[in-house]
Amino acid sequence: MIAWIVLLNLGHFYNSITTLILSSICYKEIITLSESKQRTNLFGKFMDWYIYGMMIYYVLPMNYLKPKLVESFILPDSFFHLILFQYHSFILFCLFLIALVLFVFSLELDKCQYQVEKLTMNLLGALFVVFIPSFASSNIYKGLYWLLFPHICVVTNDVFSYTLGQIFGRTPLIKISPKKTWEGFIGGLICTYIMAFILPIYLQGSQQMLCSMNEIRIRPFAEVACSNVELEQYSRIISLEMAGIQIHLTRLQFDSLVIATYASLIAPFGGFFASGVKRALNIKDFGNAIPGHGGLTDRFDCHGLMGIFTYFYLNYIIYKDQMVAENLSNVLNSMTNEQRIALLPQIISQIQKLQ
Amino acid sequence: MPKKRTQIQSQDTSQEKIKQNIASQQLENLKTPLQAKTEEETQQKIEIETNNEELAQKIAKREKRQEVKTRAVMAFFMISTLITILCMGHIYTQIMIYCLLVVSIFEILSVTDEPELNEKTNFKYVVLINLVSSQMIFLPNIVLKRSQLDYLFERETIYHKLIFEYHYITVFAMFTFSIIYFVFNLIRYGNYQYQVKGYGISIIMSILGTFVASCYIFTLYQGYYWFVFGVFAVVMNDVCAHQVGRRFGKTKLIKLSPKKTVEGFLGGAFGALLSNFVFSGYLGQWKWLVCQKPNISISMFEVLDCTAGEIFQSSPQAFDLGPFGIYIFNISPVMYHALAISLYASFIAPFGGFMASGFKRAYKKKDFSNTIPGHGGFIDRLDCIIFMGCFLFFYLTQIVYKEQSAIDKAYKSFMDMNQIHQSFVLQLLNPQLLVA
């Protein structure tokens, strides 16, 4: 517990790196799973980590090192800028081609099926364990609250549905996970709602939690400060009328309730999916990293879906204008001057065509 | 005993039977009974075997001729259908590409599939949902330019919002739905191992296959020329490699395809380079192929007329070949791009074919399915073309039409903003125009 609190206070950058490290450990568990009695040679292990590298390279400029964040220390014409931003898709395509050529050359006639299945499983694992949770890490820069709250929601939902299921549980919920019950499910939902109602009140004025960060600060335990305008948008009151009762919610409470709904209703499907995979592979746990609980993938399976939902909610509903402006500025920055000049008549002609 | 043998293997004509009888009688007269009998047996065996061999050879030759005939007929049929659909219009070619995509994905899945379990678990609906969701990822961005689609959907309607403004949210919702549907399918039908494996393969195949198909559709809208030439380059390479390999082939190229040889590979590359170089210039003169279609319409057999872009204009250029003298050819800049595409088609596109062979070998099948008589399934025909599509997409957006693609991207981001921000950005861009 203390470790989590320390981690939370360390700073945005370190939390981002923690997500990366955790997803790497989950990927390592998946790799060890897909190895079977036929031991892979050195090239097989190289392919595993090559896929991981490609996925990380794909995700890096999108989520971990956004252009806005690294503006200050990656200058426009430096080597890293070229690799990460300008020629990104081209280099990705070349890497993919190299992977393809090497894979085809390494196929051996008697191990063909095993190699193809292993590659598929590793690709899928990389998709679910590296690609999807990386969106969770890009939420951090919009405020630590958006890292803390969704994951607390999922944990609360799990804990309360388990305990209430133990106390009241009668009707089973789903065949894949025989321990879950309907009473636990609904009880977990209600308890998560209660928590989503209370926690924002407590954190409403906290600058450290809610401020968005626009650059990477390597100094740990740094102070986070921002203007009050940002905080005020979360304090706007929304009034809802339900069955004659008027409820006044702050914007933050409303967002938290939406996230709590998703965490209780849909995020558990990530858990069911992981249970299905475990049953298909006839294993009980994904690994042995945590004694008593099984591997890291068991702990973090629901959090990936939660993180990506938070990403979409933040970027498309709360901060939509900011996201669109960022996209446009990224594109404009990568164009040359002549292209920018050529852009304007095009836009004008298109607008005239529409009207 | 000998008589029984002749009766059992009585595929021979009557004449040969009589000959055999005469021969056996002559043998009998010359040797001791036991020796005669054994020698009779062996000789009859040899004769029967040779007769069977000759018959078998005849049958094999006839079958081969028929096979070559069906192959040629089907090839002609496919090429003519392709040309007709190309003439019909861009939309119809796009529909054809989607149909091919669906068919090929179901073919790939059928290789790894067990048909009874597929029916029991109703798995094809899971696969369909995956396909449709992955289609949504690429459709508005890669396939169709925003400028082409903006007048199809008005700005404030729900379709516009779902497809363009909230594009990734729609994709996310569809994939979440796919996961939920899959979990319920797991619960309902069991068979966890089959379903989980199938789900993994179907997601990856859907995304990769849809990406390739979208790349091809993108190249379509840049002008038929790139689409036609890309496919033609790969086909030419195949044909040249096959011919050269048949005449000179000695060293094996790869374990997966025993029929390919290094000589075929390199010779085919060289031959294809030359023929593609020449053919590209020739193709570039046809207006029908070169014009870009600015809007999407359903009309059939439209005639396109436009001024061809700069890269298609040919101009005479002189090549100094030293002692051979100076030759003047009509070269258009597109021919240099054609060289690059041809190099890729010869050296890297065949790996799609090798991968398909590896896939087939992994599951111990000779062909993917029997859809096309004489050629096997659709994937057998399409496997080399797969990676050509990705390359064409990247090559066109990064190298040939670089400015246009950057402008399209900026236009797309611009149109997503609301009015206030749009006017702000317009003001920002204006001073630069004034300065220039």
Per-residue pLDDT 10s for chain A (355 aa) are 677 777 777 778 888 888 899 899 889 888 888 776 666 677 888 888 999 999 999 998 888 888 888 877 777 777 887 778 877 888 888 898 888 888 888 877 777 778 878 888 888 889 888 998 899 888 888 888 888 899 889 989 988 888 888 888 788 877 777 778 888 888 899 999 999 988 888 888 777 778 887 777 777 777 777 777 777 778 888 887 777 788 888 888 889 999 999 999 888 888 888 888 888 888 777 777 777 666 777 778 888 889 999 999 988 888 888 888 888 888 777 777 777 777 777 777 766 666 5
Q: How far off is chain B from A332, nearest CA to CA, in Å? A: 7
Instruction: Choose from B149, B343, B351 for mutation: most chain A CBs within 10 A.
Output: B351
Helix axes B224-248 and B192-221, enclosed angle (nearest 10):
110
Q: Is A230 on the interface with B (CB under 8 A)?
A: no
Residue-level pLDDT at B348: 87
Taking alpha carbons only, the member of A275, A229, A237 closest to residue A253 is: A237
Mean pLDDT across the stretch B25-41?
70
Q: DSSP letters along A174-211, please?
A: -SSSTT-BHHHHHHHHHHHHHHHHHHHHHHTT-HHHH-
Instruction: Find the distance separating the first CA and the last CA of chain A, reported in whole Å.
Output: 59
Helix axes B386-395 and B334-347, enclosed angle (nearest 10):
150
Q: Is B151 on the interface with A (CB under 8 A)?
A: yes
> What single letter denotes the amino acid at residue B292?
Q
- CA-to-CA distance for A196 and B284, rounded, in angstroms? 64
Percent of chain B exceeding pLDDT 70 equals: 83
User: How far is CA B246 from its chain centroid?
Assistant: 23
* Nearest by CB: A113 against B182, B195, B362: B362
**Within 13 Å of residue B278, how many CA atoms lie on the same side as its CB?**
6
Residue of B nearest to A132 (CA): B172
pLDDT per residue over B235-264, tens digit each?
A: 889 888 888 888 887 788 777 777 788 888
* Nearest by CB: B355 against A104, A175, A342: A104
Q: Give whole-number Cα distances, A71 to A20, A144, A217, A227, B33, in Å.
A: 21, 21, 12, 21, 104
Chain B, window 389-428: residues with a beta carbon less than 8 angstroms from a chain A beta carbon? 390-391, 394, 398, 403, 406-407, 409-411, 413-418, 421, 425-426
- CA-to-CA distance for B136 and A238, rounded, in angstroms? 34
- CA-to-CA distance for B182 and B129, rounded, in angstroms? 10
Taking alpha carbons only, the member of B112, B128, B137 closest to residue B201 is: B112
- CA-to-CA distance for B138 and B171, rounded, in angstroms? 10
Residue-level pLDDT at B149: 65
pLDDT at B435 over 60: no
Instruction: Find the distance separating the first CA and the last CA of chain B, reported in whole Å.
Output: 104
Q: What is the residue-averaged pLDDT of chain B?
A: 78
Average the pLDDT over each of A21-25, B21-25, B179-183, B195-199 and give the range with the smallest value: B21-25
Residue A100 to residue B355, Cβ atoms within 8 A: yes
Mean pLDDT across the stretch B323-351?
82
Mean pLDDT across the stretch B223-246?
87
Reduce the DSSP state of residue A81 to 3 states and report it.
helix
* Nearest by CB: A269 against B150, B179, B359: B179
* Nearest by CB: B406 against A105, A266, A335: A335
Residue-level pLDDT at A190: 92
- Gyration radius (Cα) of chain B, Å: 31
Q: Is A102 on the interface with B (CB under 8 A)?
A: no
Residue of A nearest to B432 (CA): A341
Chain A, window 159-188: residues with a beta carbon less than 8 angstroms from a chain B beta carbon? 174-176
The torsion region of residue A39 among left (phi > 0), alpha (psi -120 to 50) and beta comes to: beta
pLDDT at B296 over 50: yes
Chain B, window 344-363: residues with a beta carbon less than 8 angstroms from a chain A beta carbon? 348, 351, 354-355, 358-359, 361-363
Taking alpha carbons only, the member of B369, B301, B291 closest to residue B93 is: B301
pLDDT at B10 over 60: no
Q: Is A225 on the interface with B (CB under 8 A)?
A: no
Residue B183 to residue A272, Cβ atoms within 8 A: yes
Residue B150 to residue A350, Cβ atoms within 8 A: yes
Taking alpha carbons only, the member of A224, A60, A219 closest to residue A143 is: A224
Of residues B203 and A74, which shows the higher confidence score? B203
Q: Is B175 on the interface with A (CB under 8 A)?
A: no
pLDDT at B386 over 90: no
The enclosing H or E element of A17 equals: helix A12-34
Residue-level pLDDT at A309: 92
Residue A280 to residue B196, Cβ atoms within 8 A: yes
Place of tokens 């529409």: A354
Instruction: Compute the count of residue pairs across chains A and B with CB atoms less than 8 Å apart.
Output: 154
pLDDT per residue over B107-117, tens digit each?
A: 888 777 777 77
pLDDT at B310 over 90: no
Helix axes A12-34 and A2-10, enclosed angle (nearest 10):
120
* Nearest by CB: B410 against A115, A279, A332: A332
* Nearest by CB: B204 against A120, A269, A354: A120
Reduce the DSSP state of residue A38 to 3 states and report it.
coil
Residue-level pLDDT at A259: 93
Q: Is B22 on the interface with A (CB under 8 A)?
A: no
Place of tokens 């002559």: B26
> What single letter denotes the amino acid at residue B218?
F
Q: Give whole-number Cα distances, A45 to A52, A53, A112, B63, B255, in Å.
A: 11, 12, 16, 47, 21
- Give the 3-state DSSP-derived string for chain B, with helices as H, strands as E and coil as C: CHHHHHHHCCCCCHHHHHHHHHHHHHHHHHCCHHHHHHHHHHHHHHHHHHHHHHHHHHHHHHHHHHHHHHHHHHHHHHHHHHHHHHHHCHHHHHHHHHHHHHHHHHHHHHHCCCHHHHHHHCHHHHHHHHHHHHHHHHHHHHHCCHHHHCCCCCCCCHHHHHHHHCHHHHHHHHHHHHHHHHHHHHHHHCCHHHHHHHHHHHHHHHHHHHHHHHHHHHHHHCCHHHHHHHHHHHHHHHHHHHHHHHHHCCCECCCCCCCCEHHHHHHHHHHHHHHHHHHHHHHCCCHHHHCCCCCCCCCCCCCCCCCCCHHHCCEEEEEECHHHCEEEEEECCHHHHHHHHHHHHHHCCHHHHHHHHHHHHHCCCCCCCCCECCCECHHHHHCCCHHHHHHHHHHHHHHHCHHHHHHHHHHHHHHHCCHHHHHHHHHHHHHHHHHC
Reduce the DSSP state of residue A249 to 3 states and report it.
strand
pLDDT at B434 over 50: no
Residue of A nearest to B187 (CA): A175
Q: Looking at beta carbons, which residues of chain A come within 8 Å of B411? A: 343, 346-347, 350
Mean pLDDT across the stretch B67-80?
84
Residue B351 to residue A101, Cβ atoms within 8 A: yes
Phi, psi of A172 (to 5 degrees): -70, 150
Percent of chain B exceeding pLDDT 90 equals: 1
Phi, psi of B362 (to 5 degrees): -60, -35
Q: Please give the structure tokens belonging to residue A199.
A: 């926690």
pLDDT at B374 over 80: no
Residue A116 to residue B359, Cβ atoms within 8 A: yes
Mean pLDDT across the stretch B124-153?
75
Residue of B nearest to A317 (CA): B166
Q: Is B183 on the interface with A (CB under 8 A)?
A: yes
Taking alpha carbons only, the member of A218, A281, A290, A299 closest to residue A13 is: A218
Reduce the DSSP state of residue A105 to 3 states and report it.
helix
Q: Is A270 on the interface with B (CB under 8 A)?
A: yes
> What single letter denotes the amino acid at residue A168?
F
Q: Looking at beta carbons, which residues of chain A come within 8 Å of B354? A: 104
pTM equals: 0.81
Q: Do the beta carbons of residue A44 and residue A114 sit within 8 Å?
A: no
Angle formed at CA B221 by CA A89 and CA A352, multiple of 5 degrees: 100
Residue of B nearest to A119 (CA): B201
Beta strands B315-320 and A237-242: pairing type? unpaired
